[in-house]
Amino acid sequence: MKFTILSLLLPFTSSLSAPTRTLYTYSESARIFTEAKELMPGGVSSPVRAFKSVGGSPIVFDRVKGSKAYDVDGNTYIDYVGTWGPAIIGHADDKVLEEVKKTMDKGTSFGAPCVLENELAKMVIDAVPSVEMVRFTNSGTEACMGMLRLCRAYTSREKIVKFEGCYHGHADSFLVQAGSGVATLGLPDSPGVPASSTKSTLCATYNDVGSVEELLKEGDVAALILEPVVGNSGFIKPTKEFLQGCRDLCDKYGTLLVFDEVMTGFRVAYGGAQAYFGVTPDVTTMGKVIGGGMPVGAYGGRRDIMDLVAPAGPMYQAGTLSGNPLAMTAGIETLKVLKQPGQHDKLEAASKKLVDGILAHAKANGHAATGGYAGGMFGFFFCEGPVTCFADAAKADMEKFGRWHAGMLERGIYLAPSSYEAGFMSLAHTDEDIEKTLEIAGEVMAMI
């Protein structure tokens, strides 16, 4: 028996006309996912992969290369998820793979210092304006956990301020009005998070400097933490005035400003969103791109702050696989490509072409839609714009997005399976890829 995504979206199919091209089927993906649900919670290792927000069952990948992904049913997709950001130079880049294989011959993990850590650290410090020293970790969540402890140690304060709809990993302290998977699943928080873990976490409204000052004015907040471009409530771009306002307020009240650049770092610009907007935080978290597809994270900042981290200082944080040679190699080779002149200009031009085209098709077919882009990061919503914060994003038509996602997927376009996720462009995406995507987008916009 063969399945299509739209056949699994029974409430939606009546509004779709007959397809204009042969649609993909997913029998093997359906079989594997059915088995997976008996083996892993929800059948996945990370919640948003389960397609809960868009309906149907997830696609099971077999391999990836360049701008393409290939599933177990033999279908080929133009991929705008890019393993959620890291595949910025394209999947399975030949040079990256070649160097990783050379490193692998020496061992997969040392649990001891290696020269590759120094090399990648120098590249990060050279590129990111706020970073004078860096500590590598194994994930963005782990980087944010270490960052939070460091900020509290440096300021001798406990309170932190985050923003509604911003996601900083699944540590207890951050699962308060979080975006991304939490919003996708309709969970305001998470069971199992003790009240004591979140009592010192306060939430402000993104792009609203006044809401920030209300929370900082008592002078007892250790850190103001934000995504400098939001990617976990969908794509939301800040104003330069908002970011500068946050910088000024942190200076005024003795609070550390933290940019969570796990998603934006080296993606919107070589020096991250802080270079793109010209606003420098005190501490930065990173991940994704700096590992070139390998598990990695990092946090860094001014030397006087980072000197508190053990063993230089008393703030303890450790990790057996941190700085492992495979991740360091993949990161080094990826950053070598990104450092070449004009790379982020190419990414932004491609993102602009894609978003402008999608919005034009939406308008031509009578859909309210808004969107934006920054470097190799983009997104759009089915609603009137502008979207400046999570409350605005929550007004988007999620049901329509589900129909849109299904229609695009069955025609070979792989997009994030949630309206609350940003999209990612790579240097491997060609004009032909984008033109084909827009052709299909026009078909689907006319159907939903």
Residues belonging to the active site? 167, 260, 288
Query: Between the CA of residue 391 and those of 122, 163, 205, 404, what are the distances in Å?
Result: 40, 11, 9, 22
Q: Are strands 159-163 and 201-204 parallel, antiparallel or unpaired?
A: parallel
- The CA dihedral of 266, 271, 277, 279, to the nearest 10 degrees, is 130
> Are β-strands 370-374 and 256-261 bridged in parallel, bridged antiparallel, or unpaired?
unpaired
| E strand or H helix that includes residue 167 | none
Q: What distance in Å separates the CA atoms of residue 102 and residue 109, rounded to the nearest whole number? A: 13
Please identify which residue in the block is written with the tokens 């793979």: 97
Residue with tokens 């502008």, as numbered in its chain:
386
Dihedral sign for Cα atoms in the order 357, 61, 89, 182? positive
Is residue 159 helix, strand or coil? strand
3, two tokens: 């399945």
Dihedral through CA 7, CA 11, CA 16, CA 22, nearest 10?
-10
What DSSP string describes 123-158?
HHHHH-TT-SEEEEESSHHHHHHHHHHHHHHHHT--
Hey, is 265 helix, strand or coil? strand
Per the CB < 8 A criterion, the answer to whether 176 and 170 are in contact is no
Q: How far apart are CA 5 and CA 19, in angstroms?
A: 13
Contact present, 137 and 299 (Cβ < 8 Å): yes
Q: Which two tokens mark 230?
A: 């939001």
Classify residue 185 as exposed, middle or buried by CB count within 10 Å of its CB (0-12, 13-18, 19+). middle
